Amino acid sequence: MEMVKELNPALIKRKRNGQINIKSGNKIDAVVKWTIWILTFLTVLAFFVFDYTGFQIERAITETIHNIRVMFLEPGLSHFSWSEAVYQVGVTLGLGILATIFGAIIAFFLSLMAAENLSKSWLSNTVRIVVAFIRAVPTVLWVLIFAIAAGLGSEAAVLGMLFHSVAYLVKAFSESFEEVNPGIIEALRATGSSWWHIVVNGVLPSTFTYLLSWTFLRFEINFSVAVAMGAAAGAGGIGFELFMASGFYFDLREVGFITYAILVVAIVLEIISTRLKERYFPSSINS
């Protein structure tokens, strides 16, 4: 009977003879199932209603294989040198670093106001609502908004990424602050410690590793966004070179080289992230 009580009441029906009939699934499962079936049907139907005029499947497959082979097996530089490639990668990393550092600093102070155990409820709710609206707008759209307001350039890219980084990190940081043992905060308050003393000596030591992890994760996101925004916001960097090679020069070899360069940087960032986790979160790695 205890196990029956833990089940969803909507799934339990009692018959007239006193027996309990337990139904499997619920309305949410049915909606998800029907949604998947409808989307699958529409996908299959789309293949039959496409306009295939002028489409030659054999030629398309042959040219696609050729382009992939040239792109990834014959990478090379044609329109800029190795030194310029390293510089452009540095520009992209710089955009991501600036947006992440400034975003983490701003988010830290805002998250102190957003944490329910460190702030008043009205202030916490206000900050959460504001950052929720900011976070709901994609980073790309923020960059384009600032590109219109401030003009094309690295400033628009950094401001756009900064806005979304702040909203993202405020949520992550505030949730980390709220997970601090309440006994630590109460003990410090009982000794007459000030609010800032509680933050510095009670909250930060318990959450520093989490703040570091979330900040580096956001940096990885900002790097990938900076690659995409190199062309969209005119911010330069390796993303702009990728746009020029693929859309202007149509140089597949250069596209392959730039793709490999971005991949190498992403692997290096992942290695650094893993090392940080091994140092600060050994228990999570072993598990």
- Using one digit for the tens of pLDDT, what is the confidence trace for 216-243? 889 988 888 888 887 776 677 888 888 8
Distance CA 164, CA 185 (A): 30
CB distance 135 to 164 below 8 Å = yes
Distance CA 94, CA 229 (A): 13
Helix axis angle, 82-114 to 154-178, nearest 10°: 40
Q: What is the pLDDT of residue 19?
A: 56
| Banded pLDDT at 185 (limits 50, 70, 90) | confident
DSSP state of 50: S
Q: What is the pLDDT of residue 6?
A: 45
Percentage of residues of the chain with pLDDT beyond 90: 16
Q: Closest Cα partner for 237 from 153, 137, 118, 136? A: 153
| Banded pLDDT at 284 (limits 50, 70, 90) | very low
Q: What is the pLDDT of residue 32?
A: 86
Distance CA 230, CA 92 (A): 8
Distance CA 162, CA 110 (A): 14
DSSP state of 287: -
Amino acid at 238: I
- Using one digit for the tens of pLDDT, what is the confidence trace for 23-40? 555 678 888 889 999 999
Mean of the per-residue pLDDT values of the chain = 82
Distance CA 145, CA 168 (A): 18
Sort 87 into a burial class: Cβ within 10 Å, 0-12 / 13-18 / 19+: middle
CB distance 216 to 275 below 8 Å = no
- Using one digit for the tens of pLDDT, what is the confidence trace for 80-120? 788 888 888 888 899 889 999 999 999 999 999 998 888 88
Query: Of 87 and 18, which is predicted with more confidence?
Result: 87
Distance CA 33, CA 37 (A): 6
Distance CA 39, CA 42 (A): 5
CB distance 263 to 71 below 8 Å = no
pTM (predicted TM-score) = 0.73
Query: Residue 276 pLDDT more than 80?
Result: no
> Tokens standing for 128?
């959460």
- Which range scores top for mean pLDDT: 69-73, 128-132, 189-193? 128-132
> Tokens standing for 153?
């350039």
Q: What is the pLDDT of residue 22?
A: 52
Q: Tell me how far CA of residue 185 lies from CA of 4, 7, 108, 180, in angstroms.
A: 40, 37, 18, 8
Amino acid at 59: R
CATH number attached to the domain at 80-286? 1.10.3720.10
- Using one digit for the tens of pLDDT, what is the confidence trace for 126-151? 999 999 998 888 888 888 888 887 77
Distance CA 129, CA 144 (A): 23
Domain boundaries of the chain, sorted by first residue:
2-49, 80-286
